[in-house]
Amino acid sequence: MVLHRVLRIVRMVPSFAGTAVWGVIAMFGSIAVLFALPWIDVGPVKSIRYRGTGYKVGLAVFVIAFLSLMLIGTDLTDELFPKLFGADIDLTTWDNVFGRIMTLAYFGFFVFLGLYTHLGWEKTKPVPERVTTHD
């Protein structure tokens, strides 16, 4: 049962050249990118209260993608999709399409965050004096 769920994660990435190594790389990359987050997010403000609107929208997309990928991993989509789209749909196709879109959204958040903070696109609110550190 656990092996079945892990293989579903690996199957979200299409195989290239007849090998599933790209899915395995994506699976481990989804964990590794979390460890790289301090170097990806170099924004001057760390509190979401003072972050820009782009960050908040990106974070909302990330949360939706994360929860959706969890939903696919628990096989609840086998019950959910027929109720939403009709009983005669091909679940494998819908799971793969939905999973691939959510996988792109998951990794896309980190790409967006890197560009958003490194290129200076973020417009933050001023941090109050009581929150800043004094030297």
State pLDDT tens for residues 3-39.
Answer: 444 455 566 777 777 777 887 888 888 888 889 888 9
Identify any residues that bridge with 16 across adjacent strands, giving them in sequence order: 19
* Burial status of residue 51 (CB atoms within 10 A of its CB: 0-12, 13-18, 19 or more): buried
**Distance (Å, rounded) from C-alpha 15 to C-alpha 13?**
6
**Distance (Å, rounded) from C-alpha 70 to C-alpha 73?**
5
Identify any residues that bridge with 19 across adjacent strands, giving them in sequence order: 16
**Distance (Å, rounded) from C-alpha 37 to C-alpha 34?**
5
pLDDT at 5: 46
Element (H, E) at 85: helix 77-85
